[in-house]
Structure 1
Amino acid sequence: MRTVLNVIWLVLAGFWLAIGYLVAGVICCVLIITIPFGIASFRIAVFALWPFGNTVVRRDDAGAASAVGNVIWLVVAGWWLALGHLFTGAVLCVTIIGIPFGIANFKLIPVSLLPLGREIVPVDDKRVFGVQ
Structure 2
Amino acid sequence: MSAIGNLIWFCFGGIVMGLGWWLVGCIAFLSIIGIPWGRACFVIGNFSFFPFGQEAIDRKELSQVEDIGTSGAGTVGNIIWFIFAGIWLAIGHVMAAVSCAITIIGIPFAIQHLKLAGIAIAPIGKTVVPKEVAAEARQRNAAAFVNAARR
Q: Normalized against structure 1, the TM-score is what?
A: 0.92
Query: Amino acid of the residue matched to residue 25 of structure 1?
Result: G
Superposed, which structure 2 residues align to 1:43-122 within 5 Å? 43-60=43-60, 61=66, 62-122=70-130
Residue 119 of structure 1 deviates from its aligned partner by 1.1
The one-letter amino acid of 2:84's match is V
Q: CA deviation at 1:18?
A: 1.3
Give 5+ residue unaligned stretches, structure 1: none
- The offset of 1:55, in angstroms, is 1.0
**Matched residue, 1:23:** 23
For residues 81 and 12 of structure 1, the distance between their equivalents in structure 2, rounded to whole angstroms, comes to 18
Summarize the Cα distance change of 1:130–1:117 in structure 2 as closer, same or farther, 3 Å threshold.
farther
- What runs of 5+ residues in structure 2 fail to find an aligned partner? 61-65, 142-151
CA distance in structure 1 between the aligned counterparts of 2:58 and 2:22, rounded to whole angstroms: 22
1:131 is matched with: 140
Root mean square deviation of aligned Cα: 1.3
Residue 130 of structure 1 and its aligned partner are, at CA, apart by 4.9
Name the CA distance, whole Å, in 2 between partners of 1:39 and 1:51. Answer: 18
- The alpha carbon displacement at 1:131 in A equals 2.1
Secondary structure in 1 aligned to 2:140? coil
Q: CA deviation at 1:80?
A: 2.3
Number of equivalences: 131
- Aligned partner of 1:42 in structure 2 is 42
Aligned mates of 2:140, 2:115 — CA distance in 1: 21
Q: Going by fraction, where is helix more abundant, 1 or 2?
A: 2
Larger radius of gyration: 2
